[in-house]
Amino acid sequence: MSDDQSRKPLTRTIHSADHTGNTQISESGAIVGPHIRSPLARAVYYKLKEDEQNQNDRHVYWYRVIVSRLSQDLCGKFVQFDQDDGADEFLQNCQEKSDAILSQIFYSFARPVLNLFMTQTSINGLLSRGSMYIFSKSQFEQLMSFSAYHKRDTLLDLGAGDGMVTAQMSNYFNKTYATEMSGVMARKLTSMGYHILDVDQWSESGLTFDVVSCLNLLDRCDKPMTLLSQIKEVLRPDTGRLLVAVVIPFKPYVEFNSKTHEPSELLRITGSNFEEQIQQLVSIFHQAGFLVEKFTRLPYLCEGDLRHSFYVLTDALFVLKAFEDAVAS
């Protein structure tokens, strides 16, 4: 799973003027908010206000699904989560990193220079920033019906990025494999003890896997339907499962080896809200030979910068089983 800055949304804007539009004055008499002259000081001020608001917010809207909009069959497969200790810890770490002003200033200068000859994913790997978070270990256990006391044999994490999300899953397997387009990220994954497979030949390795994770990759690869077909071929018969996350709203963008950044296989997902796009994704998975066992809605979090401690997108997360296995069960 690779970070791509084209995904980045703006978080809520924290205004520092009162309801009349007048500038606020602090107790010390200092002018605050938009009339702070220094751009850096103004950015820090807004970020502090935003951090204060987020600390008192459990972000229930990150996890909310209007199940009445879904088919009856899909309603019964929804798993409700909320912001747990894993998300709390990640958000706290994001704030601490964002508060390191000197480091953030260095990143802001280094990024445009490195961007001349490196992808954003590789830049993040080189600078050890931009880590992502989707789920905690306990949420992974609940989705997959796993136990910490019983390990499966093999996991394949496609597009594993810096391996931080992979780490939430790897303890439940005897051996973890990964693919990654970025050479910088691939070296980080190797240093974490994961076995790297070639991005073009992993489906021909002869290996089969108990779980294949495809997290936020379908909208970033050139041929998503081909990818789903390849995954189906390498899943262990009867017991193999696919864990797939998709950013909603669905907006394809091919980062590597593409001049137009448009995929050659286009998934037509046009729903106007989260639930409509979920239903369309379920149909696409069925066309590829998969049925949904469970699904949920989770925040796709990314470490931030000087302006925001973190960035957030909406993820739909599915546990899928091969169609033939579903019919036989």
CA nearest 146: which of 177, 162, 168? 168
Q: pLDDT tens-digit profile of 237-252?
A: 989 999 999 999 999 9
pLDDT recorded at residue 79: 98
Name the 3-class secondary structure at 248. strand
Taking residues 84-96, report their average pLDDT.
96
pLDDT recorded at residue 34: 60
The H-or-E segment that residue 86 falls in is: helix 85-98
Q: pLDDT tens-digit profile of 4-61?
A: 444 544 333 333 333 333 334 334 334 455 677 788 788 888 898 999 999 989 999 9
pLDDT recorded at residue 145: 94
Distance between start and end Cα atoms, the chain: 31
Q: Which CATH superfamily is domain 72-328 in?
A: Vaccinia Virus protein VP39 (3.40.50.150)
DSSP letter assigned to residue 9:
P
Specify the pTM.
0.85
Q: pLDDT tens-digit profile of 60-85?
A: 999 999 999 999 999 999 999 999 99
pLDDT recorded at residue 328: 39
**Partners of residue 267 on adjacent β-strands:** none
pLDDT recorded at residue 189: 97
pLDDT recorded at residue 37: 78
pLDDT band at 110 (very low <50, low <70, confident <90, very high): confident
pLDDT band at 256 (very low <50, low <70, confident <90, very high): confident
To the nearest whole number, what is the mean pLDDT of the chain?
87
pLDDT recorded at residue 63: 98
Is 305 a residue whose pLDDT tops 50?
yes
Distance (Å, rounded) from C-alpha 16 to C-alpha 21?
A: 9
The H-or-E segment that residue 213 falls in is: strand 211-215
Chain centre distance of CA 59: 17
